[in-house]
Structure 1
Amino acid sequence: MLNRRKFLLMAFLTAITPILESCSSSNNSLAIRVLKDSIPPQLLGNFQKQFPENRPLDIKPIPQLKSLYELLEKLSQEDNQKTANLVTLGDIWLEEAIAENLIQPLDLTSVDNWRKLPSVWQRLVQRDAQGNLAPNGKIWGAPYRWGNTVIAYRADQFREAGYEPITDWKDLWREELRDRVSLLNQPREVIGFTLKKLGQSYNTSDLEQVPNLKTELATLHQQVKFYSSQAYLQPLVLEDTWVAVGWSSDILQLQTRYPDLTTVIPESGTSLWADVWVQPTGKPSLSEAMLQWINFCWEEQAATQIGLFTNASSPILLNTKTDQLPESLQQDQLRIPPQTLIEKSEFLLPLSAQTKKQYQQLWREMRTNTSR
């Protein structure tokens, strides 16, 4: 069933999407393929007021990041000027998109608000031609939204059982939670937070050098009832599990309907993710309209709307003084975490081929462990 926000977004996008393919190659036209629900309708309305009426404006929501990546693959094989100037991409896809020549660098030197981004978000999108982080590399994306991996648990069940609240990753290994945990079916996330529990980085380059990692993963597997990247929250709602590890965007959406769920960012830090604007290959440079849109998304009013009306936040807000934020955001530690937690957290960065093999091997060993 459509909620009010989704209905307004769909209605608005229908109203502003003209059938103007014959004009869409103009330097001043703008065609955007955006991850559904990552841009609020209020922001789109404000941008439309600034965008000249005689310019084609074509903004369409796409349901999943995977579908957006597949769109980039398709665009690399055809004339993309009739389809999209800018596309949402998850930061975890950047390495592959660059290496496969699906996107091209962005010249953001003339965009004033680029300098407002926290340095961690700037470094995230500075890459070499293979997609690896490079301090002096070109800019391959414009981060406009971010979130993290969090722990959600049934506070009502914990109170009734007399259990202590969850505060960090180590709590997932508590004996009373055996067979009561649901996890993402994602080796980078699961092995990553286990590394964090052991005082290591999510981006550790040699897993074989981490003492007790295999033992910790085997013990964790005994705690897990479900692995899923799509349906990991349903067991929590149905009380089949009491704890779930998941992405903040999913859990924030659920929490408004289920007040008995408590969500925490682990105090030792967690993994971060970002949605970024990328430019498909095949266009010489950013047009005036594209630069206008990117800069607009980084304005404080637009950033605030992203924080208020989507299930995530804007990186711009992390450099905004707290007393300048709406009160609801000031009190929302999931969208605006303390700086100390941000400093302890990490993006999932590209790994070497050898490290990827180590992850795959550890994941197979963990999932096939029969000592449950």
Structure 2
Amino acid sequence: MSISAMLPYRYYNSECLHLFHHHQSPNPNNSPPLIRRSLTLQPPPPPPHQQPLNNLSVVSIIVLLGFGFSARASSASPSHLPPPISPHSHSLNLFQGNYVVEDDKLNAEFETCKSKTYALSVPLTIATLRGSIPPSWTKDFIQTQGKRVQFRSRLYGRLEDIFSDLYMPLSKGKVSRKSAVATDLVSVGDSWLNYAISKALIEPIRGVENQDWFNSLSHKWKVYLRRNCAGELDPQGEIWAAPYRWGTMVIAYKQRKFQKHKLAPIEDWEDLWRPELAGRIAMVNSPREVVGAVLKYMGTSYNTKNIELQVAGGRNAVQQNLDILRKQVRLFDSVHYLKAFGVGDVWVAVGWSSDVLPLVKRMSDVTVIVPKSGSSLWADLWVIPAESRLNTNQIGGRVREPSPLIHQWIELCLQAARALPFKQGVVAGASPYALESALVQLPPQLTNDKPRLDTNLIACMPPPDILARCEFLEPLSEVTLSDYQWLIASMQKSEPGLISRIQHYVLSKFQNLRQMLHLKEA
């Protein structure tokens, strides 16, 4: 849809509207409109000598006519009265003279106003993670909306940076033009959604029921995105976000290392507890993912509501398996775990597919798998910053309401034709429409010239049987949150130097890099 087709009336030129509203009369009969003054034109009142006679005057005239009737009857040649003067002749001449000329003049001015070309632009500003959307999306959006769209994007290196830029201005009440709050749409990870809602950092997306992109989403998406004001899943809640890509937690391992030491391939979560892999694993530093891996290892769900009641052995059994995993993993770090994997310090990396796949495609001896018992799902979402909390009338380039183009942008992101960059591996992830649809294989001509990755992923998605066992991470209840806090506290208590060991590892790698640079300069 073009901009001109979807703009409301308030975008037209104010001068043109001024002429129209002041010079167009009602037109109940659907006849061609007449441009005239707003003051209603009526024929002028009849002259004073033609006003209706009062009762006294009528009686006097009758009496006079009675006396003069005989004289008038005996007259030899009756006199002829002058022709009556039309009471409307003068007013018609006036109306057909001055006012018709003025109507023609107003008509000409109105036509001239309509023929003028006025500058019109509609802005759309997004804040997104660098590399999370294909470059072709921006180009296609500008082409479909025309030259009058002002599209701007602000790129961030990490989702945490976006969330921080969204949170800090709203907490302080001050916003700059470069802040994420000053944009129309912001990209956030689904794990941040409940916190952003509960802290009133974002606002619901209004009118989604009338949008094609929302009606085309699967039931699983609609359930996951409908929340109450506390950020909890609620079938009576509102829609707070729109997805544009998703992926899974994966496990990557070095083929040559496994072959050299005659190790069995990794297939499921339980393989991380094998003694021969102790100290050879790097993993993201996310409590939901770490504890979730333990729960999957024990045969339960990531979204277990009550660990004490729903898991065999309760919290103590989970704590024991968590302690074993802690000894197996050399590094818990969401930023540097892939660096350790790349340089060969560890043989196994456990992380999000958006991180792992772009790296391993540049490596020739890596296998990537989604555990066969299922894994966690992640999603990147578009949300609207809650600028209404601020007292200013203007927030950067955004004036109170989000851009009218937000639904057009989301619609483009979710079109089936836009999923090709995901299937080709240009961008890590998959289209939201592919979450519950049949897998589509790429044509051979699109994959012949690319090195094949040893993986069970199909077009960046798990096979259907494994995908059916994958799940999004739902918000934690108060009971479950207290269980997680207890488990993480016991994990740190069992090894007080865990955090310092991570910091020492990162610092040592940085110092080694500096030494190598100095040697090259020498």
TM-score range, shorter chain: 0.7 to 0.9
Distance change in 2, residues 1:203/1:331 (3 Å): closer
Would you say the 8 A contact 1:116–1:319 is kept in 2? Answer: no
- What is the DSSP-based 3-state SS (H/G/I as helix, E as strand, rest coil) of the residue aligned with 1:29? strand
Change (3 A) 1:47 1:333: same
Where does residue 277 of structure 1 map in the other structure? 382
Aligned counterpart for 2:358 among listed residues 222, 231, 253: 253
Please, which runs of 5 or more residues in structure 1 have no aligned partner? 1-25
Report deviation, 1:336: 2.1
Q: 2:234 aligns with which of 126, 134, 145?
A: 134
Q: Kindly indicate whether residue 190 of structure 2 is the aligned counterpart of residue 190 of structure 1.
A: no
Deviation per CA, 1:73-104: give whole Å up to 9, x if none. 24543578992011101111111111111111
Structure 2 residue corresponding to 1:154, chosen from 251, 254, 259? 254
Residue 414 (structure 2) aligned to one of 293, 298, 314:
298
Distance change >3 Å, CA 32–CA 370, structure 1 → 2: closer
- The worse-fitting range, judged by mean Cα deviation, of 68-77 and 175-184 is 68-77
SS at match of 1:344: coil
Q: Deviations over 1:183-211 (max 9, x none)?
A: 22111101101101111111112223332
| Selected match of 2:185 from 75, 82, 86 | 86
Q: Which amino acid is 1:110 matched to? A: N
Task: Kindly state the Cα deviation for residue 317 of structure 1 after the two structures are TM-superposed.
Answer: 2.8
2: CA distance between counterparts of 1:75 and 1:307?
Answer: 37
The 2-side partners of 1:180 and 1:174 are apart by 11
SS of the aligned residue for 2:149 comes to coil
| Residue deviations 1:201-242 (CA, integer Å, cap 9, x gap) | 111122233322122112222211111111112222222211
- Cα drift, residue 129 of structure 1: 0.7
- How many angstroms does 1:286 deviate by? 5.8
User: Given that residues 151 and 266 in structure 1 are in contact (C-alpha distance below 8 angstroms), is that contact kept between their aligned partners in structure 2?
Assistant: yes
- Alignment partner of 1:35 out of 129, 144, 149: 129
Instruction: Please name the residue that 1:312 is paired with.
Output: 429
Mark the runs of 5 or more structure 2 residues left unpaired by the alignment. 1-119, 389-399, 448-454, 499-522
Which residue, out of 132, 140, 159, partners 1:65?
Answer: 159
Counterpart amino acid of residue 68 in structure 1: I
In 2, Cα distance between equivalents of 1:75 and 1:52: 33
Partner of 1:339: 464
| Higher mean C-alpha deviation, range 97-106 or range 120-129 | 120-129
Tell me what 2:222 maps to: 122
SS in 1 for 2:331: strand
Return 298-307 or 135-144, whichever deviates more: 298-307
Which residue of 1 is the match for residue 325 of structure 2? 220
Residue 97 of structure 1 is matched in structure 2 by 196
Q: TM-score, normalised by structure 1?
A: 0.86
Q: Tell me, yes or no, if structure 1 residue 106 matches structure 2 residue 205.
A: yes
| Residues 203 and 322 of structure 1: CA distance in aligned 2, closer, same or farther (over 3 Å) | closer
The letter for the 2-side match of 1:294 is I
Given that 2:441 and 2:459 are in contact with CA atoms closer than 8 Å, whether structure 1 keeps it comes out as no
Contact 1:39–1:306 (Cα < 8 Å) also in 2:
no
2:477 corresponds in structure 1 to 352
Aligned length: 347
C-alpha distance 346-323 of structure 1, shift in aligned 2 (>3 A) = closer
- After superposition, the Cα gap between the structure-2 partners of 1:360 and 1:326, relative to the gap in structure 1 and judged at 3 Å, is farther
The alpha-carbon deviation at position 319 of structure 1 amounts to: 4.7
SS in structure 1 at match of 2:489 = helix
Larger-gyration structure (1/2): 2
| 1:356 positional shift | 1.7
1:118 deviates by 2.8
Asked if the contact 2:423/2:442 (under 8 Å) is kept, the reply is no
Q: Does 1:361 align with 2:461?
A: no
**Bigger relative CO (Cα 8 Å, ≥ 6 apart):** 1
Q: Is the 8 A contact 1:27 1:289 kept in 2?
A: no
Structural RMSD (CA): 2.6
Question: Hey, what's the Cα distance between the residues in 1 that align with 2:373 and 2:429?
Answer: 21
Does residue 266 (structure 1) correspond to residue 371 (structure 2)? The answer is yes
| Structure 1 pair 132–208 and aligned structure 2 pair: CA distance change class (3 A) | same
